[in-house]
Chains A and B, each alone.
Chain A
Amino acid sequence: MKKEVIDLGAGTLLFSLATIGFFFTSQIDSNQPYGPSFFPKLILTLLMIASIILVVNTIFKWKASKDTFQLDKNILLTIFIFTGVLIGYVLLFFVTGFIISTIVFLLVAQFIFGVRKPVLLIGVSVILPILLYLIFTKAFNIPLPGFFE
């Protein structure tokens, strides 16, 4: 695929988002000439113009361009999984507090990043969260949602 596809995609996506955003600005009521909706409208209009320029520029470059890029399916899959893991971590953090969610996350994430030695994997995953929890809550007096409430 030609590299320009990325810019084309970015431009189109931004233009659509800015248009949707612009629609929402009409809900902001305002009776002043430079009221609450002035800047949102201004910025979103500029964003629409900028994304149109990006798209037009890209179309002009299209023919001359020789750069290509390839999607690596493996990388894509890893990123996809890790994204899921991050979301899972945050959700688990809300439910179980800091320590447990972090232990689980560290186990999984280190595995994905390629740690295979069991001692290292489990050691880091257990010691780090407990240590951080103690430092934050006891030494810095910053309460964390935790296991020992």
Chain B
Amino acid sequence: MSTEVIEGILYALVPAAIIANLLGVALGIVFGSLPGLTATMGIALLIPLTFGIDPVVAFSALLGVYVGAVYAGSLTSILVGTPGTAAAAAALLEGPALTKKGEAKKALTMTTVASAVGGLLSCLALILIAPQLANVALTFGPPEYFALGLFGISIVAGVSGDSLLKGLIAGLIGFFIALIGMDPITGTNRFTFENANLLNGIDVVPALIGLFAISEVLTRLEGKSEQMKARLAETSIGMKFTDLKKNWFNILRSSAIGTFIGIIPATGSGVASFVAYNELKRASNEEDKKKFGKGNIDGIAATESANSAVTGGALVPLLTLGIPGDVITAVLLGALMIQGLTPGPTLFTTNGDIIYGIFTALIISNIFLLILGLGAAKVLPKILQIPESILMPTIVVFCILGSYSISNSTFDVLIMLVFGFLGYLLLKFGIPLAPLLLAMILAPIIETNFRRSMLLSQNDFSIFITRPISAVVIIVTLFILGRILWNEMKKKNLKQQSIEGES
């Protein structure tokens, strides 16, 4: 056993593997930071090149792309408000506000450090307790997923901003949008209006590119370059060690959340980021809660460590059970099989050396991420020196390019544009966009698993409370929802009193 470990580690340390890893991370950062180019596309592009290459070298490159792309999605979110993935959209909660304050460099440095730490911690979980964790994934059946989805919905309150009611409305709109397309249980068409493009529903990526980036460009057009001038002078504020020190527990908690959500197949890094953000907010005292949404570096630490921690978590069911939890890991599964490695219970015993090689490669990827990312944090804020009058039209070009290339679809470009106008309109109405996106991600989890549960139990609701995990999660969710409502009532009463006092 121990010789296998050492052999594996050595596989990942040969020069070819190190170089492949470095190039992979660099390519991943490029793909991740351009909206519309995804980790999946980067990996799919590399797979044909890995035919006939030593498995650990191949995986050094592929995991490098994975780690780099997941990390880099947030960079463009923070700098120019253009997310390319749902996880990157979580970085919008605090990122752009930090950039406006002139703290872009600080935000990017925190993103890098939090991502690397999150990635490494999840790696540790993967190496030490993968088989035990994998069994956790299996205990999740439809009722448990449904409960988890409901719990996710409770986050809507945390990302709603001033008005809970408007956040709720945003969430309902998002939920409804996710229902468009073929029904996942019976295949019945819903709101497709005989348009084949709508059969598979509205793709989240073009929708979110439009929602956030196009609406931002339109908003900037209103106040042409006022904020920009103020910002240019002071993009050089960096991160201080105290910022990191006060966030150690936050990063640890967020990494744990990310790892856990990564292990549960079919949930995804978007959910992880939002949950981590919400938990941070819930754990804060009343005074600190007011800082959120206005450029709080702690929020970045939470979302970024969580979304990078998903990487290690998602490899747990992949390597131990051969079950990919999302599209990226499904592509990685294909790559493993091309190498003649069948992931699953037997992989650890038959190919222990390669497994440890892959673990080591993952650690190295995170180290390269830290190095390259810290460099990027210094260089990238210079993008902001490009005048807004050039930068904004360029962002639109990237939106078109990104929404098209995600599935080579002109229809997606239209979707992107429609959601751009929708996003702008909603902002004008004071309706927040984050809950809309969150509900759009969670809706399929909630709906399909509710209905699967009903099929399994022959329409008996007790299935949700007779199973321990789902019962606990549902009770906790109800408790949280109760508290949110209670607080809202209290706030309203206070307001009422103050208004009455005035008059």
Contact = CB atoms under 8 A, between A and B. Distances in A.
Contact of B176 (A7, A47, A94): A47
Interface in A59-76: 64, 75
Interface residues of A, number: 62
Given A34-B451, A110-B393, A87 B221 contact: no
A64 B501 CA distance: 12
A47 B173 contact: yes
B221 A113 contact: yes
B388 interface: yes
A110 B389 contact: yes
Interface string A29-44: 1101111111110011
Question: Which of A7, A106, A109, A110 is the most central at the interface, judged by chain B CB atoms within 10 Å of its CB?
Answer: A109
Contacts of B499: 64
A106 B503 CA distance: 54
Contacts of B408: 142-143
A92 B214 CA distance: 18
A14 interface: yes
A105 B397 contact: yes
Interface stretch (B344-352, B399-407, B466-474): B399-407
Interface string B167-188: 0110011011001000101101
B-side interface mostly: helix
Contacts of A87: 417
Interface string B430-446: 11000000000000000
B493 interface: no
B245 interface: no
Contact of B430 (A7, A50, A53, A89): A7
A69 to B, nearest CB: 10
Given A132-B401, A143-B408, A105 B396 contact: yes
Given A7-B429, A34-B454, A110 B503 contact: no
B110 interface: no
A122 interface: no
A53 B488 CA distance: 14
Interface residues of B, number: 56
A129 B397 CA distance: 8
Contacts of A79: 218, 221-222
Given A36-B188, A82-B218, A136-B405, A90 B400 contact: yes
Contacts of B218: 79, 82-83
A90 B414 contact: yes
Contacts of A10: 429-431
Nearest to A50: B169
A124 B390 contact: yes
A106 B393 contact: yes
Interface in A2-58: 6-7, 9-10, 14, 21, 24, 28-30, 32-40, 43-44, 46-47, 50-51, 53-54, 57
13 contacts: A6-B428, A24-B191, A29-B188, A33-B459, A40-B176, A47-B176, A53-B165, A64-B503, A79-B218, A93-B400, A105-B396, A106-B397, A142-B41
Given A30-B186, A43-B179, 18 more contacts: A7-B429, A10-B430, A30-B188, A33-B454, A34-B451, A36-B185, A36-B186, A36-B188, A86-B214, A86-B420, A105-B396, A113-B388, A113-B390, A113-B393, A140-B37, A140-B41, A141-B45, A144-B404
Interface of B: 37, 41, 45, 165-166, 168-169, 172-173, 175-176, 179, 183, 185-186, 188-191, 214, 218, 221-222, 224-225, 387-390, 392-394, 396-397, 400-401, 404-405, 408, 410, 413-414, 417, 420-421, 428-431, 447, 450-451, 454, 459, 499, 503
